[in-house]
Amino acid sequence: MEKREDLRSFLPYLPVVMRSSTLFWPSHVVEALKELARGPLHSHVDSGHILFTAIEDIRNSLSLSSNSLAPSTSLGYSLFFDELMTREESRKWFEEVVPALGSLLLRLPSLLEAHYENADKVLNVGAMIGTGLRMLDSQEAGIVFLSRELIAALLGCSLFCLFPDHDRYMKQLQIINFDQLFASLYEDYSQKQESKIRCIIHYFQRISSDMPKGVVSFERKVLPFEGDADLISYPKSNFWSTSAIPLCKFEVHTSGHIEDQSGEAVEVDFANKYLGGGALGRGCVQEEIRFMVSPELIAGMLFLTAMEENEAIDIVGVERFSSYTGYASSFRFSGDYVDERDVDNLGRRKTRIVAIDALCSPGMRQYREKFVLREINKAFCGFLYQFKYQKYQKILQENGWSSEQFDASTLTHMETSEEEISNHEFEKFQNNYQRMEQGNNIGVATGNWGCGAFGGDPELKAIIQWLAASQALRPFIAYYTFGLEALQNLDEVASWILSQRWTVGDLWNMLIEYSTKRSKGETTVGFLRWLLPSLYGHGARSFDGDGCLVT
């Protein structure tokens, strides 16, 4: 066990210790956890105040300084468990859930040992691919598989604030203990903060009575800045302007939430570059809410460092435990949620979440080509499945259409242009493209990414995500507008664009033409009105035979 590099490198970030290839809790911690496991008649832990005293004793046994916790943490635990919980809720928590958590944490060393023993066997492929718990640093593509029982134990450590703070800030890691979550409740009480904690407490109530089975995968995806013969590297503008890939289907939903989509589409997390954003603090917008209703997502905050512009994070297999209403200050926990998603052949629920961070407060710079490119490449990284590109290459070859070289700069630059392809050949290409998609109907479910609190232009972001999903060979994009007035004509504009049979390259070039004019102050209207002014009561724009705007 001690020879495993992944474990040795990550051990300083775990609360357990290792000696002679064995992971264990210090003896005083074992005794304290055993007392908790026996229930309040033995441990005398029957209130939030006493629970936090027990937590402090365990932290002291682990040589964790109480000074590293938020100042009002103890008061937050007391407020929630002693005042905000009903008497019956409190009784069940201390008589049933806390003992179950004590037993679960006692098993953490053995759960970790079993995890590392099986970490190289999860993916049944020829080469040994490591999936063990380790730091997934920036620019290091990799994947970690965690059993859901291990995730539950790790989150139990977060609740008890047992993770060391060992240079997490220097490593660009998020906070992982729950001290700020509870301290914020006391320091600036709000119903939304109480509801966030209720979601997490509900998760522990559920897993203490019925431990979930299966696994969750956490993957750091990277588009390399340097060329790679086996991977798509970070695209430049020419990659997009010359793309001949057809635009995928575009579905507009004016109501509903991304996580309520009934299919298996990839759900976009409007992420902070630090995964989870303010989930364990005061934050309560799209990303934070998703982490509260599916707390297994929080486990990724333990080992995934901040994302760079060429990176995304893909998480597959989490379960949703809570229902909710509202958003931001109106967010409210509204009870249990029964997640009926199927399980894949690796034991993961078919819930796919991709975290991509948009530009924050971009202002007018978001219209400059450099930043449009940054946003589309970020979304492309998140939506891309590299293996599908290899299948797409095969289809090109089967049709006799070649590319000079299948890399980021020339993948979509076909020697045979669309103008030279007969209608019959083009239809054959489209049929083959659709045939490739049969049996793999995993589209993208998204919405106003990078808008709202981040201040992005929703019309620009909608088109950028459509282009990225199409280029990534996703069969459709389901776009949730959340009733935003600026997008009231999105469905009509998307339908018109599809009727023109534009490619990714065509729409990209149109978007860049608009963005250039917008950044120079030559237009102040949104992209949808600029492209189709007739929908807004103005004269229609003219396009030539190549689909180019006639000015």
pLDDT tens digits, 65-112:
877 899 999 999 999 999 999 999 999 999 999 999 999 999 999 999
Does some domain include residue 468?
Answer: no
Instruction: Tell me what pLDDT residue 165 has.
Output: 87
Residues 6 or more apart whose CB falls under 8 angstroms from that of 16 comprise 23, 24, 25, 108, 109, 112
- The answer to whether position 483 is within a domain reads no
Determine, yes or no, domain membership for 22. yes
Q: What is the mean pLDDT of residues 430-435?
A: 48
Per-residue model confidence (pLDDT) at position 542: 58
| Predicted local confidence at residue 548, as pLDDT | 57
pLDDT value at position 393? Answer: 56
Q: Is residue 332 part of a domain?
A: yes
Q: How far apart are CA 162 and CA 182, in angstroms?
A: 15
Answering whether pTM is above 0.85, one says: yes
> Confidence class of residue 453 from pLDDT cuts 50, 70 and 90?
confident
Residue bearing tokens 């004269």: 539
**Token representation of residue 241:** 């302007």
Just list the catalytic residues: 269, 287-288
Strand partners, 311: 222
Is the pLDDT score of 410 beyond 80? no
- pLDDT at position 424: 54
Specify the pLDDT at position 540: 54
Closest CA to 300 of 336, 326, 346, 269: 269
Tell me which H or E stretch contains 504: helix 504-519
Name the residue type at position 365.
Answer: R
Contact 419, 547 (CB under 8 A): no
d(CA 312, CA 386): 13
pLDDT at 395 over 50: yes
Position of tokens 């937590």? 55
Banded pLDDT at 399 (limits 50, 70, 90): low
Annotated binding site for substrate: 272, 286, 327
352 located within any domain: yes
Count of structural domains within the chain:
1
Amino acid letter for position 442: I
DSSP string over 71-99: TTHHHHHHIIIIIIS-HHHHHHIIIIIHH
* Report for 33-42, 111-120, 261-270: range of highest mean pLDDT: 33-42
Residues 6+ apart with CB under 8 A from 448: 270, 456, 458, 461, 462, 481, 482, 484, 487
Report the chain's mean pLDDT, rounded to a whole number.
89
CA distance 345 to 514: 45
Span 125-147, pLDDT tens digits: 544 578 999 999 999 999 999 99
Question: Residue 532 domain-assigned?
Answer: no
pLDDT at 437 over 50: no
pLDDT at 426 over 60: no
Residue 261 belongs to a domain: yes
Kindly report the three-state secondary structure assignment for every residue of 484-502.
CHHHCCHHHHHHHHHHCCC
| Other residues' Cβ atoms within 10 Å of the Cβ of residue 329 | 10
| φ, ψ (nearest 5 deg) of residue 447 | -165, -140
Q: Which residue carries 């590299």 as its tokens?
A: 386
Its domain, for residue 83, covers 5-357
Beta partners for residue 222, in sequence order: 311
Q: What is the pLDDT of residue 429?
A: 46
Residues placed in the known binding site? 272, 286, 327
Please give the share of the chain, as a percent, with pLDDT higher than 90. Answer: 79
503 domain residue, yes or no: no
Q: Are 105 and 153 in contact (CB under 8 A)?
A: yes
Task: List the structure tokens of 242.
Answer: 């010359």
Q: What is the DSSP letter of 192?
A: H
Kindly indicate the confidence band of residue 121, based on its pLDDT and cuts at 50, 70 and 90.
Answer: confident
**Tell me, what's the pLDDT at 226?**
83
User: At residue 434, does pLDDT exceed 70?
Assistant: no
Q: With 80 as the cut, is the pLDDT of residue 549 above it?
A: no
Q: Is the pLDDT of residue 438 over 60?
A: no
